[in-house]
Amino acid sequence: MVTVPKHFSRNYIVYLDSISKINKVWYLNIQKEINPLIKGKTILDIGNGGIFNFDISLPKKIIAIDPAFKYFFKLKKYSNVVYGFDDARSLKSIKRESVDVVLFQLVLHHVTGKSFNETINNLKQIFVETGRVLKPKREIVIVGSVVFKFLEEIEKIFYYPQIYFFKLFNKPTVFEFSEKTLLSLIQKGNFQLIKIKTIYYGKKLDVLNGIKPGLLIFPAFGCFRINVNFL
């Protein structure tokens, strides 16, 4: 089965096209929420994918991390941007307490393993590493979609068939978490919740734009952002 980095590197142009068209309103609204949080700060953008959905002139420094960068022919250069290939579970190139804001933008549903338990452990490792690189009392910002708890339970039941399904079409597996599960993992990682906010998608949403753009376009119903402080 194709890995997430290889998949996004292969479908980069198509993915950009979906952002600028069907999902344009959603991304613009996300940008409005992120911009006030990053001015003058050092931010770590995990799973960046070569897409800066915020004003790059605002942060003092941007560390853009994505294993997919290994497959990119060329990354656009900016004076305040440093690119890295680290796995989010082991941010070896990032020093302890060196970052003001960690940004997870539409990426956590790609943190999957060979089982649901492995997926949860991956998330735990990521939040541990996030806590290590963050300065005291600084923020992580999570932007993404969530599902109702009962839908998450259905995903868990069909976890292995889902892996086979995505493998059949040579796509990376995704898992949509419930808000309850994410909040539980965040709090276990010694983070304190500040805010949850719905971000308006627009009239339509390309649900699988990261997997197969244009395959599933639905009427939009909401998104969430979680702001948390590290204790």
Average pLDDT over residues 181-186: 87
123-147, pLDDT tens digit by residue? Answer: 999 998 998 999 987 888 988 878 8
Q: Which residue has the tokens 């395959």?
A: 215
pLDDT of residue 231: 46
pLDDT at 1: 47
Task: Give me the percent of the chain exceeding a pLDDT of 90.
Answer: 29
Higher local confidence (pLDDT), 27 or 73: 27
Report CA 160 to chain centroid distance, whole Å.
23
Q: What pLDDT shows up at residue 186?
A: 84
pLDDT of 15-28, one tens digit each? Answer: 555 555 666 777 88
Say which CATH class 4-230 falls into.
alpha beta
> Are 189 and 124 a contacting pair, CB within 8 Å?
yes
At 137 the pLDDT is 77
pLDDT at position 215 is 55
Interval 27-60: pLDDT, tens: 888 888 899 999 999 999 998 888 898 999 999 9
pTM above 0.85, yes or no: no
- pLDDT confidence bin for 82, thresholds 50/70/90: very high
- Under 8 Å between Cβ of 73 and 114: no
Rounded Cα gap, residues 123 and 108, in angstroms: 8
Looking at residue 43, its pLDDT comes to 96
Q: What is the pLDDT of residues 86-109, one digit of tens each?
A: 999 999 999 999 999 999 988 888
What digits encode the pLDDT tens for the residues 106-120?
A: 888 888 888 999 999
Secondary structure of the chain in HEC code, one letter for each residue: CCCHHHHHHHCHHHHHHHHHCCCHHHHHHHHHHHHHHHCCCEEEEECCCCCCCCCCCCCCEEEEECHHHHHCCCCCCCCCEEEECCECCECCCCCCCCEEEEEEECCHHHCCCCCHHHHHHHHHHHHHHHHHHEEEEEEEEEEECCECHHHHHHHHHCHHHHHHHHHHCCCCCCCCCEHHHHHHHHHHCCEEEEEEEECCCCCEEECCCCCCCCCCEEECCCCEEEEEEEC
